[in-house]
């Protein structure tokens, strides 16, 4: 099955996995990967937090990235070589593998930043993990997604909740609106297993010190014995149910004034959404404006 894209591009959907995994050149109809390698970007920096989390900075080989709204994502692809193809599928043409990644950088920058976790049994990330500085990859130059502040009124209180790499879209928002009044009262909650996995910890701490209206609420869920972390512990749902989140965020969770963003683990997104709905919040959809905004990573 294929899907037409703007500019004459065509995407081929892998029916088994329901994932877009190859792209066709408009002029020749040839599948990328079957011909010349369609790389258009290069890794210019890679910072590994540990063996399964990395911040990857990427630059297009020609020109600046297209404009995007903070909170949007782009598709990143790598070419899978012949020897590896068997583990992906039987088609000889499925060489370009793509997955979506939220953009952590601000649209004001020429460099795109992604915060990626290794899914050991995944298809793309174990291969992405082999790439180093200066290695080339494909970035679909078409930002996507509606997980942005666009539908949120300027005067709203904004609660940004993330698990794991779900912090990335908030980093883009906070970097972009750092010196403006766009997020006049906001709290960012980040749940990770270990302190090392609180990517952006120092940056978020610095931002919250600098901006009176911004609270940073990191929470650790991993083994108590394994770390000296003295801050908050527990999953987001537990903190919400106990009232800790509300107390720490600096504003009340009032559906008349507040908008809540949820990003990352789909179970967290569903659980917290359900809780918020019992408090009078409503999901924001294409059809109906609401105050719960969600991005499920899988």
Ligand X SMILES: NC(=O)c1ccc[n+]([C@@H]2O[C@H](COP(=O)([O-])OP(=O)(O)OC[C@H]3O[C@@H](n4cnc5c(N)ncnc54)[C@H](OP(=O)(O)O)[C@@H]3O)[C@@H](O)[C@H]2O)c1
Ligand Y SMILES: Cc1cc2nc3c(=O)[nH]c(=O)nc-3n(C[C@H](O)[C@H](O)[C@H](O)COP(=O)(O)OP(=O)(O)OC[C@H]3O[C@@H](n4cnc5c(N)ncnc54)[C@H](O)[C@@H]3O)c2cc1C
- Distance from C-alpha of 265 to C-alpha of 269, rounded to nearest angstrom: 6
| Contact string (CB under 6 A) for ligand X, positions 197-236, x = contact | ------------------------xx------------xx
Nearer to ligand X, 156 or 198 (CB): 198
- In whole angstroms, the minimum distance from the beta carbon of 182 to ligand X comes to 27
Cα 54 from Cα 129, distance rounded (Å):
9
CA dihedral 277→220→178→158, nearest 10 degrees, is: 10
Please say which residue, 122 or 234, places its beta carbon nearer to ligand Y. Answer: 122
- Per partner kind, with CB cut-offs from 5 to 8 A, the member of ligand X, ligand Y, none near residue 100 is ligand Y
Q: How far is the CB of 262 from ligand X (least distance, A)?
A: 10
Q: At what angle do helices 168-176 and 201-210 cross, to 10 degrees?
A: 30
Helix (H) or strand (E) holding 188: strand 185-192
Angstrom CA distances, 38 to 32, 98, 295, stand at 6, 12, 28
Q: CB of 192: closest distance to ligand X in angstroms?
A: 5
Return the one option of ligand Y, ligand X, none that residue 267 interacts with (CB less than 5 to 8 A, by type): ligand X
E-assigned strand segments in 51-184: 53-60, 73-79, 96-102, 112-117, 136-139, 157-163
Pick between residue 4 and residue 120 the one whose CB is nearest to ligand Y.
120
104 touching ligand X, by CB under 6 A: no
Contact 213, 174 (CB under 8 A): no
- Across the beta sheet with 258-264, the strand order is 214-220, 185-192, 157-163, 258-264, 292-296
The verdict on 168 binding ligand X (CB under 6 A) reads: no
Binding pattern to ligand Y, positions 155-184, x when CB under 6 A? Answer: ----------x--x----------------
Token pair for residue 72?
């949007």
Interface positions with ligand X (CB under 6 A):
52, 117, 119, 163-165, 191-193, 221-222, 235-237, 265, 267-268, 271
Interface positions with ligand Y (CB under 6 A):
73, 99-102, 114-117, 119, 122-125, 145, 165, 168, 295, 297-298
């Amino acid at each position: 099955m294929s899907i037409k894209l703007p500019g004459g591009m065509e995407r081929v959907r892998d029916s088994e996995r329901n994932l877009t995994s190859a792209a066709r050149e408009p002029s020749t109809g040839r599948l990328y990967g079957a011909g010349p390698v369609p790389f258009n970007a290069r890794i210019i920096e890679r910072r590994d937090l540990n063996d399964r989390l990395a911040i990857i900075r990427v630059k297009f080989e020609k020109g600046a990235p297209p404009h995007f709204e903070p909170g949007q994502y782009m598709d990143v692809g790598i070419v899978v070589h012949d020897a590896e193809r068997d583990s992906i599928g039987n088609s000889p043409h499925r060489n370009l593998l793509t997955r979506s990644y939220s953009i952590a950088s601000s649209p004001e920058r020429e460099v795109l930043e992604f915060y990626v976790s290794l899914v050991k049994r995944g298809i793309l990330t174990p291969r992405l993990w082999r790439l180093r500085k200066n290695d080339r990859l494909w970035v679909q130059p078409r930002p996507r997604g509606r997980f942005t502040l666009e539908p949120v009124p300027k005067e709203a209180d904004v609660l940004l909740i993330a698990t794991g790499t779900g912090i990335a879209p908030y980093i883009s928002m906070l970097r972009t609106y750092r010196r403006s009044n766009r997020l006049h009262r906001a709290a960012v909650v980040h749940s990770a297993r270990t302190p090392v996995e609180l990517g952006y910890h120092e940056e978020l701490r610095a931002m919250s010190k600098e901006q009176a209206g911004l609270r940073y609420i990191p929470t650790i869920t991993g083994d108590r014995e394994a770390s000296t972390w003295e801050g908050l512990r527990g999953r987001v749902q537990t903190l919400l149910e106990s009232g800790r989140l509300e107390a720490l965020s600096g504003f009340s969770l009032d559906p008349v004034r507040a908008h809540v963003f949820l990003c990352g683990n789909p179970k967290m997104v569903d659980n917290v959404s359900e809780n918020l709905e019992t408090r009078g919040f409503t999901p924001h959809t294409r059809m109906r404006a609401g105050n719960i905004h969600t991005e499920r990573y899988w």
